[in-house]
Amino acid sequence: MAPALLLVPAALASFILAFGTGVEFVRFTSLRPLLGGIPESGGPDARQGWLAALQDRSILAPLAWDLGLLLLFVGQHSLMAAERVKAWTSRYFGVLQRSLYVACTALALQLVMRYWEPIPKGPVLWEARAEPWATWVPLLCFVLHVISWLLIFSILLVFDYAELMGLKQVYYHVLGLGEPLALKSPRALRLFSHLRHPVCVELLTVLWVVPTLGTDRLLLAFLLTLYLGLAHGLDQQDLRYLRAQLQRKLHLLSRPQDGEAE
């Protein structure tokens, strides 16, 4: 039992790293563009044409750097999700395979956020400058971001957050219950193989709904949108299963508790 218990701190460390990275990601994608920080528009220089911007080294250099950071994150996230890599990591890390994947993803995302280069003098795709849009558009974006993040956290709980973070695998292993995925139905396993990111629409809202869409934000939104789109492969059978599971959970939540029934 002692060696098995040593797995718990490793899984908890991975979970804490992922949780902290998630909080930082909220700040990076929502609080910075909505509430201030590094500006995404640099005044008159930001209105230069896109063709001229592609010839400006002061714009191309940070743009290429940010592109490299995003490709690093996407490469790590996709490579470690490949079946061969998962089999290799499972062979050497056992039940900690999911925790390792989560920790590496968090570290890759930390690199993106900490070393991201804003492009304040780059062109903007849109910007709310004139009143009343300068007041109401940021407020509307803030409300939509809050709603999106609340939905994201709710959906992650529905999709078994402990299992997504690798905690449940270690917990089951310590208790000798086996692999959690082995207890799921074939329809659930089929859905998980198609649905890599259960919060796609909400993340797209966070990425695109901003008062000012500058050059670096456009790069971030476009590449992550492309990645999220390629990572999905839902069909009608998956959608029917999702609808059935949602109805079942809503029924359980609406059912009166034992104390209330008495």
Res 81: pLDDT:
83
pLDDT of residue 25: 95
Q: Which helix (H) or strand (E) holds 212?
A: strand 212-213
**For residue range 170-200, what is the model confidence (pLDDT) as tens digits?**
877 777 766 665 555 555 545 555 555 556 7
**In this structure, what is the dihedral angle of CA atoms 104, 110, 111, 117, given to the nearest 10 degrees?**
160
Q: Which of 18-22, 58-62, 115-119, 197-201 is predicted with the least confidence, judged by mean pLDDT?
A: 197-201
Give the residue, 66 or 4, on which the prediction is more confident: 66
Residue 244 has what pLDDT? 61
Find, among 104, 114, 115, 76, the residue nearest to 18 by Cα.
104
Q: What pLDDT is attached to residue 117?
A: 93
Residue 75 or 232, more confident: 75
Q: Cis omega (within 30 of 0) on the bond before 118?
A: no
pLDDT tens digits, one per residue of 123-176? 888 888 878 887 888 899 999 999 999 988 877 776 667 777 877 788 777 777
CB neighbours (10 Å) of residue 213?
Answer: 20
Q: What percent of the chain has pLDDT over 90?
A: 32
- The rounded mean pLDDT for the chain is 78
Report the predicted TM-score, pTM, of the whole model to 2 decimal places: 0.77
**Per-residue confidence at 227, pLDDT binned at 50, 70, 90?**
confident
**3-class SS at 119?**
coil
Q: What is the rounded average pLDDT of the residues 81-110?
A: 91
Least confident window among 9-13, 186-190, 229-233: 186-190
| Residue 260: per-residue pLDDT | 44
Distance CA 190, CA 193 (A): 5
Give the model's pLDDT for residue 36.
Answer: 56
* CA 224 to each of CA 60, 68, 196, 207: distance values in angstroms, whole numbers, following the listed order: 19, 13, 13, 8
Provide the pLDDT for residue 58.
Answer: 86
